[in-house]
Structure 1
Amino acid sequence: MLNDVKWVQACRKAADWREAVAIAVDPLIVYGSAQAAYLEGVITNTLAWGPYYVVAPGIALPHARPEQGAIHNQIAVTTLQQPVTFGHEDCDPVWLLIALSATDAERHIATIQRISQWLGDDAFIAALRQAKDDRALFQLLKQSFIRSE
């Protein structure tokens, strides 16, 4: 799933949650894992249900339903230079976004389980936050994915 540096973005700038989500979802759209409408799906769902994908302090997993434009199963990882507010009382502000595209519920759950392994590792999360460029971020994630397989 994280087989190329194109799926990671370190130290990006976002003015607000919408821009952060757009940046995070962009690789999924650009590289063909989601249709352009997928971003609108995430935004529409956020406006309807709130930031349901903010899962831990500083961490969001923006995603939409498969029928909202998912083409392939993929994740894209983005860190922000400055955290942004999503409107989540307990977990704002967010600095790490793991955008995911899943074509069915089974794949969605499997991907979330793999990501949850990362979230339980405080040292790993701290290392992600310290990664200053895309290559450094990619190397950390690649090593983690290899260990979890």
Structure 2
Amino acid sequence: MLKYFLENDLVRFSKKQPRDWQEAIQMSCENMLEKEMISQVYVDEIIECVGKYGPYIVIIPGVAMPHSSEQSQGVFGTGISFTKMPEDVVFEAGNPEKNAKLFFVLAAKNGDEHVQNIANLSEMLMTDGLVEDLSVIHSFEEYQGLVEKYNI
């Protein structure tokens, strides 16, 4: 999957720290917005759902998976993008377990693709050492090094 992100130009390193989790979601979706895989409607839906249901998108400490349901409006393509923020983004004050620096945005046109995206990303994130390595890199060159190291 690391290769997929690189080969499809779906990797971003943010130089700007978002002021809050809402801006972090917006920033992490920019790549897919530019590629017209999603529309602003989808981004707004994710932000609304996190506001309503809490930080369900923080799947493990340090990692957020912005997504909404498979019936979401504003999804035109299936894919996953990766954005690394400079510092942790706080989703729930006083709960560092719900901070995230690594953002993997999911978009899927149907339920099967939605489930497959989650399964693929989950499998990748279980790779020993990967989350830690992604958390400390700051450039495409370093990312390329991880692609070679993990060969995934």
Say whether the fold is shared (TM-score over 0.5): yes
Write the distance in 2 (CA, Å) between the matches of 1:97 and 1:28.
Answer: 13
1:14 aligns with 2:3: no
Q: Of residues 98, 102, 114 in structure 2, which corresponds to 1:96?
A: 102
1:17 and 1:60 map into 2 onto residues whose CA distance is 10
Q: Secondary structure at the match of 2:109?
A: coil
CA contact (8 A) 2:79 2:106 kept: yes
* Aligned position for 1:80: 85
Using the size of structure 1 for normalisation, the TM-score is 0.85
Provide structure 1 residue ranges, at least 5 long, that are not aligned to the other structure: none
In structure 2, distance between residues paired with 1:75 and 1:111? 7
In the alignment, is residue 132 of structure 1 matched against residue 138 of structure 2?
yes
Which of the numbers 25, 49, 54 marks the counterpart of 1:50?
A: 54
CA contact (8 A) 1:51 1:86 kept: yes
C-alpha contact (below 8 Å) 2:42/2:73 kept by paired residues: yes
TM-score of the pair, normalised by structure 2:
0.83
**Unmatched runs of 5 consecutive residues or more in structure 2:** none
2:33 pairs with 1:29: yes
Alpha-carbon distance in structure 1 between the residues aligned to 2:104 and 2:144: 13
Q: Is the 8 A contact 1:5 1:135 kept in 2?
A: no
Letter matched to residue 23 of structure 2: E
Task: Say which of 4, 15, 24 aligns to 2:7.
Answer: 4
| Distance (Å, rounded) in 2 between the aligned partners of 1:98 and 1:55 | 10
Determine which of 38, 41, 44 is the counterpart of 1:40. 44
**For the structure 1 residues 126 and 107, does the alpha-carbon distance in structure 2 shift closer, same or farther, using more than 3 Å as the test?**
same
Give the Cα separation in 2 of the matches to 1:138 and 1:57: 24
Tell which deviates more after alignment, 99-108 or 135-144.
135-144
Cα RMSD for the two superposed structures: 2.3
Q: Identity of paired residues, percent?
A: 22
User: Structure 2 CA distance, aligned partners of 1:77 and 1:17?
Assistant: 16
